[in-house]
A = this chain, B = another copy of it.
């Protein structure tokens, strides 16, 4: 079975249009390249009851859950409290995170700054060896901050643990109207029901105006479906196969 994932973007700043979410486009692309199927991306406010409900649902439904945002010292950073509550755990200070923070802030460290050492009870740190930025994971929930640079830096360190069999992707570029080939696509889908077949109008290309994408984890299945598709399509519509 293909590993599945859900991405939970936590942040009023995204929902109020102040910040464009860069984390879900990054994570979805990286996870796809690793062979993981992202089933859902949801953006929600920094609101404890809402986060509790979503984290519970995501953790039950997907193999992997990634949250971004709501990690920090201020009143609107409620992700750790909410994830803890979602699983009936207390919020505790992780000694290793506390050490890192005390080393960073020195003796003047404030209680607010120490909040960044908090994890759900039973939460673990991964990749702590040679980095000042370990990732916090609780069960199947990987907890990331909101800053895109930090998400990338952390994800790159741990991504290999998510690797699954890769998706095989072929593309067919066409010059035609989607409505003229819909029957051909239905024909392919009835013979290859497991195929992930996409059909997209393309507006800004000089040479084609429809792109078909064929995907599966089985190279043979994709090749058979591609041959079946090419046999059905009107030959004059085909610009190229990639």
What is A's interface to B at a CB cutoff of 8 Å? 9, 12-21, 24-25, 28-33, 37-45, 72-76, 105, 109-110, 112-113, 115-116, 147, 149, 167, 177-183, 185-186, 189, 196-201, 203, 213, 215
Q: Are A105 and B179 in contact (CB under 8 A)?
A: yes
Given contact pairs A15-B41, A25-B17, A112-B183, A178 touches B73 in the complex (Cβ within 8 A): yes
A75 interface neighbour in B13, B14, B30, B185, Cβ under 8 Å: B185
Q: Who on chain B is nearest to A20 by CB? A: B25
Q: Are A73 and B14 in contact (CB under 8 A)?
A: no
Q: Are B38 and A15 in contact (CB under 8 A)?
A: yes
Q: Are A201 and B20 in contact (CB under 8 A)?
A: no
Q: Are B182 and A112 in contact (CB under 8 A)?
A: yes
For residue A119, give the distance in angstroms from its CB to the closest CB of chain B: 17
Collect the chain B residues with CB atoms within 8 Å of residue A15's CB.
28, 37-41
Q: Who on chain B is nearest to A16 by CB? A: B32
Collect the chain B residues with CB atoms within 8 Å of residue A39's CB.
15, 44-45
Main secondary structure of the interface of A (DSSP, over half): mixed
**What's the Cα separation between A186 and B112 when bound, in Å?**
10
A178 interface neighbour in B16, B41, B74, Cβ under 8 Å: B74
**What's the Cα separation between A217 and B142 when bound, in Å?**
36
**What's the Cα separation between A25 and B19 when bound, in Å?**
9
Collect the chain B residues with CB atoms within 8 Å of residue A198's CB.
12-13, 18, 76
Known: A110-B179, A112-B182. 4 other contacts (CB 8 A): A17-B25, A17-B31, A110-B182, A147-B203
Q: Are A74 and B182 in contact (CB under 8 A)?
A: yes
**What's the Cα separation between A106 and B223 when bound, in Å?**
36
Collect the chain B residues with CB atoms within 8 Å of residue A197's CB.
75-76
Q: Could you list some 23 contacts between A and B, CB below 8 A?
A: A9-B41, A12-B196, A15-B37, A15-B41, A16-B32, A17-B28, A17-B29, A24-B43, A72-B199, A72-B201, A73-B182, A74-B181, A74-B182, A74-B199, A75-B186, A75-B189, A76-B197, A105-B177, A110-B182, A112-B178, A113-B179, A116-B179, A147-B203
